[in-house]
A and B are shown apart, each in its own frame.
Chain A
């Protein structure tokens, strides 16, 4: 069973606030990912990392930023939240470049 954690699970916040969504994994995986999913819609890759100090933008443009200072930690930050950022954010990790990708439970973000 994969050990990948996301906090908070639910977040309701006002427009203009800065927020950080946390993602941690205890498996020592080098590869980590952030996906965004609106209700009933497809998942879209917004950021990924292949190791410490490596971050790349995904297929869907996002105003969020990420950092990878430690292997186990891959936080996502929104400097100024807007209602258009309301969505579910899913973090994932993988040990290899062909094997299973393990997903966290997600953070449901609502920006009022």
Chain B
């Protein structure tokens, strides 16, 4: 798995967009970028994943740079319930290689 680097913490005002960066400069061509979050030691929750195109779902948008060396997770209108640790993971999918290695992540605090 490619090493990912995330800021340890970020703050965001409620109602504003939260932009969480992730650096994965050694990512290989067949590694996907996954984002999960963990709210107060509950089980992690899947948010979104992508390979090279930008992706959007009902929870968030994932913007991957053209060289794929970094990505940004965007929560368009953050709420207090979005306060959590956010994990960015780069890993190869497919067969026996599919497993996720979690790092320290970014603690996002959404303030009223």
Residues of chain A touching chain B, judged by Cβ–Cβ distance below 8 Å, are 31, 33, 35, 37, 39, 42-45, 48, 50, 56, 58-59, 88, 90, 92, 94, 96-106
Chain A residue at smallest Cβ distance from B32? A98
Alpha-carbon distance A59/B93, docked complex (angstroms)? 17
Query: What number of B residues sit within 8 Å (CB to CB) of A?
Result: 21
Chain A residue at smallest Cβ distance from B42? A105
List, in ascending order, chain A residues with CB within 8 A of B46's CB: 100-102
Chain A residue at smallest Cβ distance from B94? A97
**A87 CB, nearest partner CB in chain B, Å:** 11
Alpha-carbon distance A32/B40, docked complex (angstroms)? 23
A–B pairs, 23, beta carbons within 8 Å:
A33-B99, A33-B100, A37-B41, A42-B103, A43-B102, A44-B102, A45-B100, A45-B101, A48-B99, A92-B43, A92-B44, A97-B98, A98-B49, A98-B93, A98-B94, A98-B98, A101-B36, A102-B46, A103-B43, A103-B45, A106-B41, A106-B42, A106-B43
Chain B residue at smallest Cβ distance from A102? B46
**B34 CB, nearest partner CB in chain A, Å:** 8
Alpha-carbon distance A50/B103, docked complex (angstroms)? 23
The reply to whether A90 and B43 form a contact with Cβ atoms under 8 Å apart is yes
List, in ascending order, chain A residues with CB within 8 A of B93's CB: 96-98
List, in ascending order, chain A residues with CB within 8 A of B49's CB: 98-100
The reply to whether B100 and A42 form a contact with Cβ atoms under 8 Å apart is no
Give 19 A-B pairs besides A45-B99, A94-B98, A106-B42 with Cβ atoms closer than 8 angstroms: A31-B98, A33-B99, A37-B41, A39-B41, A42-B102, A42-B104, A45-B100, A45-B101, A50-B96, A58-B99, A59-B101, A92-B44, A97-B93, A97-B94, A97-B98, A100-B46, A105-B43, A106-B41, A106-B43
